[in-house]
Amino acid sequence: MSFYDKVYEQVKKIPAGRVATYGQIACLCGSPKASRAVGYALHFNPDPESIPCFRVVNRFGGCAEAFAFGGKAVQAARLEEDGIEVGKDFTVDLDKYLWDPFEE
């Protein structure tokens, strides 16, 4: 399985109303130092309808400048459609919305 496939498999697990960080996805893929590679993989999302890459934000909760769906504004709109509040500075409150993959 390629690294991209590993990224997409982890991203599919993020439930509606939650976000993950690039670093968190990298760790779940077994490559804790590969957060930049995760960001790169998200730009090649083969199936945006079933692989919700818009749910991945940076370590500060920020939307991506060069997000594959059209930049910060588009990512923020997708997050808000998903029930996540996005601030005027295009950030998400990680204390409120961060996904815990080990939660039951």
What is the domain-level CATH number for residue 23?
A: 1.10.10.10
Tokens of 8: 């997409």
Which one, of 78, 102, 101, lies nearest residue 92 by Cα?
78
CB 56 within 8 A of CB 32: no
Residue 34's domain comprises 3-97
Give the C-alpha distances (Å, rounded to integers) separating 45 from 28, 49, 56, 88. Answer: 18, 10, 12, 26
Cα–Cα nearest to 20, from 66, 74, 72, 84: 84
27 belongs to a structural domain: yes
**Is the pLDDT higher at 8 or at 65?**
8
Q: What is the mean pLDDT of the chain?
A: 91
Cα–Cα distance for residue pair 24/22, rounded to 1 Å = 5
Contact present, 29 and 3 (Cβ < 8 Å): yes
pLDDT at position 44, please?
Answer: 84
In-domain check, residue 8: yes
Q: What would the two tokens of residue 20 be? A: 């993950």
Q: Which of 27, 29, 53, 63 is catalytic?
A: 53
Concerning whether 53 is annotated as a catalytic residue, the answer is yes
- Is 104 domain-assigned? no
With 70 as the cut, is the pLDDT of residue 13 above it? yes
Split into its structural domains, the chain has a count of 1
In a domain, 103, yes or no: no
Compute the average pLDDT of residues 6-16: 96
